[in-house]
A = this chain, B = another copy of it.
Amino acid sequence: MEKLLKEITPKSHDFSQWYVDVIKKADMVDYAPMKGFMVMKPYSYKIWEFIQAAMDQRFWATGHENAYFPLLIPENLLKKEAEHVEGFSAEVAWVTMGGNEVLAERLAVRPTSETIIGHMYSQWIQSYRDLPVLINQWANVMRWEKSTRPFLRTTEFLWQEGHTVHRTETEAVVETIQQLGTYREVIEDELAVPVIEGVKSAGERFAGAVETYTLEALMGDGKALQIATSHFLGQNFAKAFEIRYLDEDGVLKYGWTTSWGSTTRMIGALIMVHGDDKGLRIPPRVAPTQVVIVPIGRGIERDAVIAHATALRDLLASQCRVKLDDRDEFTPGYKFNDWEMRGVPLRIEVGPKDIAQQRVMLCRRDTGEKFAVEERTLVQTVPDILADIQATLFSQAKDYRNRHTHAIQNYQEMAQYDHRGFFLGDWCTDERCADQLKQETAVTIRCLPLDANLSGSGCVVCGKPGVRRALFGRAY
Interface residues of A (CB under 8 A from B): 30, 32-34, 37-42, 45-46, 48-49, 65-72, 74, 77, 89-100, 106-107, 109, 116, 119-120, 123-124, 129, 135, 139-140, 142, 144-146, 155-156, 158, 329
28 contacting pairs across A/B (C-beta < 8 A): A30-B123, A32-B69, A33-B119, A34-B72, A38-B70, A39-B69, A41-B67, A42-B66, A45-B65, A45-B66, A71-B71, A71-B109, A71-B156, A72-B93, A72-B156, A89-B100, A90-B100, A92-B99, A93-B97, A93-B98, A93-B99, A94-B95, A94-B98, A96-B97, A97-B106, A109-B109, A129-B329, A140-B140
Residues from chain B with Cβ under 8 Å of A41 in the complex: 67
Instruction: List 19 extra interface pairs beyond A39-B70, A91-B99, CB under 8 A.
Output: A30-B123, A30-B124, A32-B69, A32-B116, A33-B74, A34-B107, A39-B120, A40-B68, A41-B67, A42-B67, A45-B65, A45-B66, A45-B67, A72-B93, A89-B100, A92-B99, A95-B109, A99-B146, A140-B140
Please determine whether A34 and B95 come into contact, CB atoms closer than 8 angstroms: no
Residues from chain B with Cβ under 8 Å of A129 in the complex: 329
Residues from chain B with Cβ under 8 Å of A66 in the complex: 42, 45-46, 49
Residues from chain B with Cβ under 8 Å of A107 in the complex: 34
**Quick one: which of A45, A68, A95 has the most chain B CB within 10 A?**
A68
Copies in the complex: 2
Please determine whether B45 and A144 come into contact, CB atoms closer than 8 angstroms: no
Residues from chain B with Cβ under 8 Å of A49 in the complex: 66
Please determine whether A93 and B92 come into contact, CB atoms closer than 8 angstroms: no
A97 closest partner in B (C-beta): B94
Please determine whether A67 and B96 come into contact, CB atoms closer than 8 angstroms: no
Please determine whether B97 and A68 come into contact, CB atoms closer than 8 angstroms: no
Residues from chain B with Cβ under 8 Å of A144 in the complex: 98-99
Cα A87 to Cα B424 with chains together (Å) = 60
Give the top 6 A-B pairs by smallest Cβ distance, nearest first.
Answer: A99-B144, A42-B65, A98-B144, A40-B68, A94-B97, A37-B70
- A218 smallest CB distance to B (angstroms): 28
Cα A274 to Cα B91 with chains together (Å) = 45
With A45-B67, A65-B45, A66-B45 as given contacts, are A74 and B34 in contact (CB-CB < 8 Å)? yes
Cα A123 to Cα B24 with chains together (Å) = 13
Residues from chain B with Cβ under 8 Å of A116 in the complex: 32-33
